[in-house]
Amino acid sequence: MGKTIVEKILSKHCNKNVKAGDFIVANIDLAITHDTTGPIAIETFKQFGVKKVWDPDKVVIFLDHATPSPNERISSIHSLMRDFASENGVKLYDAGEGICHQLAVEKGHIMPGFFAVGTDSHTCTYGAINALSFGIGSTEMSGVFLTGKLWLRVPEVLKIIYTGSLEKGVFSKDLMLYTVGRIGSDGADYLAMEFCGEVIKAMEVSDRLTMCNMSIECGAKAGIMELDEKAADWIKARSSQPLDIEAFSDDHDAEFASIHEWDVSNIVPQVACPHSVDNVLPIDEIQGKEIQQVFVGTCTNGRYDDLEIVARILKGKRIYDSTRLFVCPASRDVLIESIDKGILLPIVEAGGTILPPGCGPCPGTHLGIPSDGERVLSTANRNFKGRMGNNKSEIFLASPATCAASAIEGVIADPRKYFY
């Protein structure tokens, strides 16, 4: 019997032939943590009484969730993490460098065929470059710090083949929101989701990262994609050394939990409505709803390609008087490329505010907490009640294009008219 990508990657990481349903102990290539969940992992790790993590080269720490620090309490959390990184000889990305998931792929910490874990549920992002990765808890991470291993059940795979092509003004974010709406927030619980088909092949790598990033919103353990030439070139372009890439693909007789084939040529821009990500409506059923704040950024949609779409729509225009627009590049490199290619100017001239690279207002700690009764349209991945720091506000999720169009009009708006 053939194997799925997931079975192949995990077989390699526990040095035996494994199949879906097996319980295994697998070796970790990369373990990441950040300033929300990292402190507990560090304090728990200290209980083992060992000096150092199993392999300092395989651990990376990021300060991204509340940076620059908004108060002394968080500053002391950051100090704790800096001290731990320096004592262990572990790489730490400090405030302003960007979001962990963007840096992990951009700085080459993650490679195709890797098995990675992180104390963040969106660690599943790296599936877009053919790595198996997912979120774990902090105590679990303390065990990884000690042993370099994780026990897990090899997941079955739910495979979605997207056929056709996306209409102009419809993006990977719309496709993923549509997918979450159809599969539901626990429809892929305990499964890995594989995204494939001609629609995925046509996507840029940044758009593929958006898809895998949100696989957790279906409850999936991981999102995964095959590695094509486009993705391999994308990785090579970001590496200073020549790379020997080992990629994995499904065998023709691999077994899947289920296979869905969807023609998505007719899907329109999608919006996830309060207060769950699978509460998805097509744009025509929700457009016209007044919004007070628009946020473009996060590990889902804070990449250069996302900001470029926003700049293209906003160029020469002005955002609506009573609407605020916050744009947060996912990393310093995204910010540099955006400055270099001149796309920040039209955003700022239109009335947008650029935030420092990091998670920004997404986890509700600072940098744009909505007021009571306000509606926010965001490119983030979660719209749970209170997510952005105020449980009396509402969050809607959409693509960067929908966000830009809506910022101009002051209401949730269809971006397709800006693409003709």
Stretch that binds other proteins, among 23-31, 252-260, 301-309, 407-415 (CB under 8 A): 23-31
Nearest distance in Å: CB 186, other proteins: 4
Regarding 265 and contact with other proteins (CB under 8 A), the answer is no
Regarding 393 and contact with other proteins (CB under 8 A), the answer is no
Q: Which is nearer to other proteins, 219 or 415 (CB)?
A: 219
Residue 224 token pair: 């995964």
Nearest distance in Å: CB 304, other proteins: 26
CA-CA distances (angstroms) from residue 83 to 42, 92, 139? 10, 10, 19
Nearest distance in Å: CB 419, other proteins: 33
Stretch that binds other proteins, among 194-202, 214-222, 248-256, 292-300 (CB under 8 A): 214-222
DSSP state of 154: P
Alpha-carbon torsion (210, 216, 217, 219), positive or negative: positive
Burial 44-63 (b: 16+ CB within 10 A, else e): bbeeeeeeebbeeebbbbbb
Provide the pairing of β-strand 132-135 with 59-62.
unpaired
Regarding 37 and contact with other proteins (CB under 8 A), the answer is yes
Identify the bridge partners of residue 59 per DSSP, sorted by sequence position. 31
Q: Which is nearer to other proteins, 53 or 413 (CB)?
A: 53
Q: HEC states along 331-350? A: EHHHHHHHHHCCCHHHHHHC
Give residues 176-195 in contact with other proteins (rule: CB under 8 A).
185-186, 189-190
Nearest distance in Å: CB 216, other proteins: 8
Residue 109 token pair: 């910490």
Q: Which is nearer to other proteins, 74 or 397 (CB)?
A: 74
Nearest distance in Å: CB 19, other proteins: 14
The residues, any chain, with a CB within 8 Å of residue 154's CB and separated by 6 or more, are: 6, 7, 10, 18, 19, 20, 21, 22, 23, 24
Stretch that binds other proteins, among 113-121, 292-300, 333-341, 349-357 (CB under 8 A): 113-121
Q: Which is nearer to other proteins, 190 or 246 (CB)?
A: 190
Question: Where would I find the H helices in 31-156?
Answer: 38-46, 72-88, 100-106, 138-147
Identify the bridge partners of residue 124 per DSSP, sorted by sequence position. none
Nearest distance in Å: CB 236, other proteins: 31
Q: Which is nearer to other proteins, 77 or 313 (CB)?
A: 77
Q: Which is nearer to other proteins, 153 or 341 (CB)?
A: 153
CB atoms within 10 A of CB 268: 15
Regarding 39 and contact with other proteins (CB under 8 A), the answer is yes
Stretch that binds other proteins, among 145-153, 233-241, 288-296, 333-341 (CB under 8 A): 145-153
**Chain-centroid distance, C-alpha 324:** 24
Q: Which is nearer to other proteins, 46 or 201 (CB)?
A: 46
The site string for other proteins over 61-90 (x = CB under 8 A, - otherwise) reads ----xx------xx-xx-xx--x-------
Decide: helix, strand or coil at residue 234.
helix
Question: Where would I find the H helices in 109-227?
Answer: 138-147, 172-183, 198-202, 205-213
Q: Which is nearer to other proteins, 16 or 201 (CB)?
A: 16
Identify the bridge partners of residue 194 per DSSP, sorted by sequence position. 159, 224
Nearest distance in Å: CB 163, other proteins: 29
Q: How far apart are CA 301 and CA 323, in angstroms?
A: 20
Nearest distance in Å: CB 50, other proteins: 10
The site string for other proteins over 353-372 (x = CB under 8 A, - otherwise) reads ----------xxx-------
Nearest distance in Å: CB 220, other proteins: 9
**Chain-centroid distance, C-alpha 171:** 15
Give residues 288-317 in contact with other proteins (rule: CB under 8 A).
none
Regarding 249 and contact with other proteins (CB under 8 A), the answer is no
The residues, any chain, with a CB within 8 Å of residue 234's CB and separated by 6 or more, are: 129, 205
The residue behind tokens 């709803």 is 289
Stretch that binds other proteins, among 103-111, 149-157, 348-356, 400-408 (CB under 8 A): 149-157
The residues, any chain, with a CB within 8 Å of residue 111's CB and separated by 6 or more, are: 29, 129, 131, 235, 243, 245
Give the number of residues written for the chain: 420
The residues binding other proteins (CB under 8 A) are 14, 23-25, 35-37, 39-40, 43-44, 47-48, 65-66, 73-74, 76-77, 79-80, 83, 119-121, 123, 135-140, 142-143, 146-147, 149-151, 153, 185-186, 189-190, 216, 219, 221, 276, 363-365, 382, 384-387, 389, 391
